[in-house]
A and B are shown apart, each in its own frame.
Chain A
Amino acid sequence: SAVISQKPSRDICQRGTSLTIQCQVDSQVTMMFWYRQQPGQSLTLIATANQGSEATYESGFVIDKFPISRPNLTFSTLTVSNMSPEDSSIYLCSVFQPVSGAGSYNEQFFGPGTRLTVL
């Protein structure tokens, strides 16, 4: 199984500032995924981060607001730019890992999340 760590675990930020969230995986993965979980809501995919190419963003999310870096196969960052209170959410990093003995099945693993509060 994949072990995923995120930094910071939580932060309180002022409106208009930016925060960069780090995601570290204990094994090499081709794609890393960033999700947002707004208060009381389910998970929404923000973007897919591929190593060596630009991230692919889902509808409603843009690179200027959520720039992503993917410098190597075990690490990615998500920046929340020019924050407003509406950006208060939990941000989760996720990867797929093949499960041994299960054929082509890849299980999705999630990091512990970064809880962001914007004042």
Chain B
Amino acid sequence: AQSVTQPDIHITVSEGASLELRCNYSYGATPYLFWYVQSPGQGLQLLLKYFSGDTLVQGIKGFEAEFKRSQSSFNLRKPSVHWSDAAEYFCAVGHNAGNMLTFGGGTRLMVKP
């Protein structure tokens, strides 16, 4: 069965600093990988996704993520964090485009002024 681990439950960074949120997955074949963001009181918004091809994918709001098969990882990065990035971030894996996703436990990002 597929699973997703987000090792960091909470992360605090200063505004303007760089950010990396970790995500490790367990799946027997090439996974479909996703990052979602949930702002307070909001639903989930897709940031970016990886299906195949270039392992570095660009998303919305200046985010990017890199698929590393050897490490079973799909870490999310942003070079300079803005206060509005404070939210909960979820990594998810699916085994076919459009099939149900398995979500990680989430990482809550706090941004210091």
Contacts and interface: CB of A to CB of B under 8 A. Distances in A.
Contacts of B49: 107
A42 B98 contact: no
B98 A104 contact: yes
A102 B97 CA distance: 10
**Interface SS of chain B: helix, strand, loop or mixed?**
loop
Contact of B101 (A105, A108, A113): A108
Contacts of A33: 100
Contacts, number: 45
Contact of A4 (B43, B101, B103): B43
A42 B105 contact: yes
Interface of B: 36, 41-46, 49, 51, 90, 97-98, 100-101, 103-106
14 contacts: A41-B106, A42-B105, A92-B43, A98-B98, A102-B97, A104-B98, A105-B97, A105-B98, A106-B98, A108-B98, A108-B101, A109-B46, A110-B45, A115-B41
